[in-house]
Amino acid sequence: MKHLVIALMILGLASVALAAENPDIRIYLDAAPPGYVHEVHPDASTQFDVYVCLDCFGPGGGTRGTAFLLTRTFQGFKLSQTSMLGGLDFGDAEVDGWTIAAGAACVYPDASGTVCVGVINYLYLGVPGTLDVGPHPGTGYEVLDCDFLSDYYCVYANLGVSVPPNPGDPECDCGEVPVEDSTWGGIKSLYR
């Protein structure tokens, strides 16, 4: 029995040690980070940038990379896609998915709590639509944390081009639990 208890304690500690850093991480599209701008109104035949960003990192959390696929319904051309993490990237964001990796070091959020992993430049032709971020065909909703462990992102916000954006995933928040202010006396009265 003693050995069973010790084995369960070790297993419990190991599972805590292997827990990922960013359990509530979100991915979203932003036209002006860190402003959380999810709708743009460009003139026809003009260019604009779309940033793919992550936020809601856990304490001390960062990222070593992620992958995703974009679906575009507005009329235009993707002129370029550029990784902002400093490492390798491959794939086409709209065709087979874009995989973006950090360089040798982990990338941590800036003062706003955000890491923008890539920027895509579009030429808009004047027909409105949306740009939606979704799971990568090969890796799904995976994002790699600083310990090389997998976390799974939810989609916080998409982008609307001259139309409102499609909604992100329901209940895609930072995991904050609202707490009602109360006094110690009020808490004790609940148990009388």
**pLDDT for 19:** 52
69 located within any domain: yes
**pLDDT for 6:** 36
Residue 78's domain comprises 19-169
pTM of the model as a whole: 0.81
How many structural domains is the chain composed of? 1
23 located within any domain: yes
**pLDDT for 174:** 86
What is the tally of helices (H) and strands (E) in the chain? 2, 13
CA dihedral 126, 99, 173, 149 (to 10 degrees): 180
Closest C-alpha among 67, 83, 81, 85 to residue 122:
81
Sign, CA dihedral 103-107-110-112, equals positive
Q: Is 85:60 a contact under the CB 8 Å cutoff? A: no
71 located within any domain: yes
Using CA atoms, how far apart are residues 16 and 2, in angstroms rounded to an integer? 22
Secondary structure (3-state) at 126: coil
79 located within any domain: yes
178 located within any domain: no
190 located within any domain: no
Mean pLDDT by 10 residues, the chain (192 residues): 37 42 92 96 98 94 96 98 95 97 93 96 98 97 93 96 97 65 49 52
148 located within any domain: yes
Contacts of 27 (CB under 8 A, 6+ apart): 52, 53, 54, 66, 68, 133, 143, 153, 154, 155, 156
CATH number at residue 138: 2.60.40.680
